[in-house]
Structure 1
């Protein structure tokens, strides 16, 4: 018998991406489900955390749209448990103005978030963007510098031979830095190039840079690889380690 929340790796029979929508508001869940269905996705629904984990165990989702405020088990805990069982992209739904909660969502591994009230069309675009960036990239699949190695086709990353546990956006951010060593990028540039958006809360970038530093730097408090460029943004400096 498999563990209760382990993803078995099943896919939708017709090849369409499967999205799990988790929200205790039936109106929100119904509207989001309808828009995703019309966009060609297979959609599962859950109204609370335990049901969401059970549904994810029965049919592995390609992406989860997850409300932060859920009865019994909040979205943060659901996200943690899903992350413990395997990588899956998560878009968090949060109430407008709850910046601390949004940052917590990013800290536990959410790849993106949308604030309520939101446009269902915007949410569908976010789903498409996250899924597109989660697919393997074949061209120039291997990147390496400063003891870091990234295989964009297999979507694996290592530091000094040890595999790194990265979320979707952390992986994309690291690959982007490795492709552009020595260049400074503003948070707006990173939002556009890594997230694929010309707008959005720039604290998303800040949180992901901090999380990535915690996984690739010897001393995240004194980063030597991902440097802060005051008044600009960030720069990846491979230093003497080189390629």
Structure 2
């Protein structure tokens, strides 16, 4: 009897064909959908487009290695990641670097152990997700999946646009200067201008207006910056 939710997709990033096929067989038996990538350079684009529910990520890969991939994924997504390593001595390095992995498994491993780790991780994240969702009458932000909806409709946002909307929505009525928003949007401390923030605000407004035209939720404050505000009060729950 399958115990997994059928809509959950697990990405397997593994260059050893036999191991990847073994994992796929067990995951399919548990009711998960899977996708397999055997080269590190192909991972980021696929993850950004498809947003899997979990990633099994081998440490040693052709192209980008698992540590690099984990760090890059964490820049734009909170997708749960289980690292897989064939070298026990790498474990301390993986954990010590604080690269953002949720768990690790050593080769050789039991497929049943992998399934147990996956289920345990999903249970933990399901609980945490209950406190990582910000919602009110119009906007819902799911930070675990980097998903925003307005009036019940999903917004097609870039990671930067999501961070911008999240910053504003979490503190309705607060006026943020462009400088404050720039620090929130780019974690790599890149140099950007005020016009960059204005451009993201413009795009965000267009995407919101596509689903909700009754009022402008992101308001300009002349010569200061921007704020998020709804008619009828805040009413937020976190």
TM, length-normalised to structure 1? 0.50
Q: Distance in 1 between matches of 2:64 and 2:94?
A: 17
Per the alignment, residue 25 of structure 2 pairs with: 34
Runs of 4+ in 1 over 4 A off after TM superposition: none
- What SS is found at the alignment partner of 2:48? helix
Residue 102 of structure 1: which of 63, 69, 94 is its match?
94
Q: Distance in 1 between matches of 2:96 and 2:127?
A: 28
Per the alignment, residue 191 of structure 2 pairs with: none
Q: Based on CA coordinates, which of the two structures has the bigger radius of gyration?
A: 2
Per the alignment, residue 78 of structure 1 pairs with: 69
Per the alignment, residue 130 of structure 2 pairs with: 153
Q: Residues 22 and 46 of structure 1 are in contact (CA less than 8 Å); yes or no, is this contact kept in structure 2? A: yes
- What SS is found at the alignment partner of 1:101? helix
Structure 1 residue 91: deviation in Å?
A: 0.3
Q: Is structure 2 residue 93 aligned with structure 1 residue 116?
A: no
Q: Distance in 2 between matches of 1:154 and 1:50?
A: 34
Q: Distance in 2 between matches of 1:95 and 1:15?
A: 30
Change (3 A) 1:104 1:32: farther
Q: Distance in 2 between matches of 1:110 and 1:28?
A: 20
Q: Distance in 1 between matches of 2:85 and 2:76?
A: 23
Q: Which runs of 5+ in 2 are unaligned?
A: 135-142, 145-238
Q: Distance in 2 between matches of 1:63 and 1:45?
A: 12
TM, length-normalised to structure 2? 0.51
Per the alignment, residue 121 of structure 2 pairs with: 130
Structure 1 residue 102: deviation in Å?
A: 3.3
- What SS is found at the alignment partner of 1:108? coil
Provide, for residues 149-189 of structure 1, a one-character-per-residue CA deviation record: whole Å limited to 9, x for no partner: xxx623269xxxxxxxx99xxxxxxxxxxxxxxxxxxxxxx
- What SS is found at the alignment partner of 1:135? helix
Q: Which runs of 5+ in 1 are unaligned?
A: 1-13, 138-151, 158-165, 168-243
- What SS is found at the alignment partner of 2:109? coil
Q: Is structure 2 residue 10 aligned with structure 1 residue 19?
A: yes
Q: Residues 94 and 102 of structure 1 are in contact (CA less than 8 Å); yes or no, is this contact kept in structure 2? A: no
- What SS is found at the alignment partner of 1:93? strand
Q: Distance in 1 between matches of 2:36 and 2:76?
A: 19
Q: Distance in 1 between matches of 2:13 and 2:96?
A: 18
Q: How many residues of Structure 1 are paired with residues of Structure 2 in the alignment?
A: 132
Per the alignment, residue 54 of structure 1 pairs with: 45
